[in-house]
Amino acid sequence: MGLVTTKKMFEMAYKNGYAVGAFNVNNMEITQGIVTAIAKAKAPLILQISRGARQYASMSYLKAIIDVAVAENPDIPISMHLDHGDTVEICKQCVDDGFTSVMIDASHHSFEENIRMTHEVVEYAHAHGVVVEAELGQLGGIEEDVVGVEDVSAHLTDPSQAEEFVEKSGCDSLAVAVGTSHGAYKFKTEPKLAFDVIEEIGKRLPGYPLVMHGSSSVLKEFKDLINQYGGNMPDAMGVPEAAISKAAKMAICKVNIDTDLRMALTAKIRQVFAEKPAEFDPRKYLGPGRDAIEKMVEHKLNVLGCTGKASECK
């Protein structure tokens, strides 16, 4: 069926109380693990590409890998999304490169400048049949070039501003700050998401899809394996999965997951190196890493509630 936008996905997610998983891709093994899980679960899929991914693998390689995934899974709706585009120019370039969804992240600018930049991207993207995600409020943590604030509770999205922002910018979905944070070291104590903010924005913008970034759970299984086999992540902490499931039943229609992918791959590679120190064949350690990603993604789809929802999102 080819690449699709997220429009139908979000319509159905909002209507039926689930969220679509948006997974960051950096290479073939990560993509294969994600897509294999998606195909088994018959779920809709958003494959995200960040600036760091483009710098690492180049757009041509990543696009080719995604093209194969789409061709081999014609019954699965797949969207290719730009994650955290920081300039109008890069968003326009990704529209020209075949992305079906782009994110303009101007949240670090003033409210007025954020609206202006977002509106400019919206006009260009919509003219090419591409949808736009924007961001309002600021998250904590660090992920690639995205550096967040220290006190996430002081930078939550203002529901009244969200209403004005969507009306003036014309964006198709909005990433909101509700207490999540980028990276593996998100919090010092167990976080509490601002469900009241999600609820209030939902009341002001009925039917409008919200997005939750910084939503990896930093699964204990992988943290323990990494630490057991020479890693040093004792204080890593993520978003509780129960909170993610609750948000997915509200107005949150897209949940970003990146750190959990990295940890699954790294944990299994470390395990192979420790248990089989003579191993030098990349297929023998990347393969188990790919399998770990597949199992983790299957689990996440159940957390999000989107298992079996592919057919209604076409």
> For residue 145, is it within any domain?
yes
pLDDT at 20: 98
Mean residue pLDDT across the chain: 91
Least confident of 174-188, 201-215, 250-264: 174-188
CATH number at residue 142: 3.20.20.70
pLDDT in tens, 139-158: 644 444 544 444 555 578 99
β-sheet with 146-147: strand ranges across? 146-147, 140-143, 181-182
pLDDT at 191: 73
75 is an active site residue: no
> For residue 119, is it within any domain?
yes
Q: How far is CA 184 from CA 234, 235, 312, in A?
A: 11, 9, 33
Instruction: Tell the burial category of 226 from Cβ atoms under 10 Å away from its Cβ (0-12, 13-18, 19+).
Output: buried
> How many of the other CB atoms lie within 10 Å of CB of 187?
19
pLDDT in tens, 18-75: 999 999 999 999 999 999 999 999 999 999 999 899 999 999 999 999 999 999 999 9
User: Span 169-180, mean pLDDT?
Assistant: 93
Domain count, the chain: 1
| DSSP annotation string for 78-105 | EEEEEEEE-SHHHHHHHHHTT-SEEEE-
- What gap in Å lies between CA 224 and CA 228, rounded to an integer? 6
Whole-number percent of the chain with pLDDT over 70: 92
> For residue 201, is it within any domain?
yes
pLDDT at 181: 65
pLDDT at 143: 46
> For residue 2, is it within any domain?
no
CB 91 within 8 Å of CB 85 = yes
| DSSP annotation string for 158-184 | PHHHHHHHHHHH--SEEEE-SS-EESS
Q: Which is more confident, 179 or 268? A: 268
Type of residue numbered 43: A
Q: Which three-class secondary structure state does DSSP give residue 3?
A: coil
pLDDT at 148: 43
> For residue 1, is it within any domain?
no
User: Span 270-288, mean pLDDT?
Assistant: 97
**pTM: predicted TM-score of the whole model, two decimal places:** 0.92
> For residue 70, is it within any domain?
yes
Annotated catalytic residue: which of 67, 75, 83, 97? 83
- What gap in Å lies between CA 172 and CA 150, rounded to an integer? 28
> For residue 32, is it within any domain?
yes
Domain that holds residue 47: 7-313
pLDDT at 146: 47
pLDDT at 147: 41
